[in-house]
Amino acid sequence: MTAEDGVTIQDWLVTVTVEAEEVLSTSEEVAWSFYPNPVHDILKVKSLKEVTVYVMDLNGHQVLSAQKGTALELDVSGLGQGVYLLIVQDDKRIVSHKIVKEN
């Protein structure tokens, strides 16, 4: 870069300030729980506020229909043995959790 007076500047100083719009507390991050894992027949999901949950296989196909509520029971007995993703969605975020289905 050359200034109007012909002096060349070779050093740069860049200051970046980042401000967070919202910081989630630990209690907000863990607003739900699910059990048992591994699961055989019924997977229970409990939440402090209403969530939508569904189960996907590792290929991204939804294998259990979405349910809404704060205390849910998902019947996974019809699924084959393996690893699946439990998708939990509230009004702020979508989170996936690995679950293991055993026979």
> Across the chain, what does the average pLDDT equal?
83
* Torsions phi, psi for 81 (to 5 deg): -60, 135
Alpha-carbon gap, residue 73 to 50, rounded angstroms: 14
Alpha-carbon gap, residue 95 to 10, rounded angstroms: 46
33 falls in which pLDDT band (50, 70, 90)? Answer: very high
CATH fold for the domain made of 29-101: Immunoglobulin-like (2.60.40)
| pLDDT on residue 32 | 87
State pTM to two decimals: 0.70
For the chain, the structural domain boundaries read 29-101
- Tens digit of pLDDT for each residue in 46-92? 999 999 999 999 999 999 988 899 999 999 999 999 999 999 999 88
51 compared with 20, residue with greater pLDDT: 51
- One-letter identity of residue 62: Q
Alpha-carbon gap, residue 17 to 80, rounded angstroms: 50
For residue 38, whether the previous peptide bond is cis, meaning omega lies within 30 degrees of 0, is yes
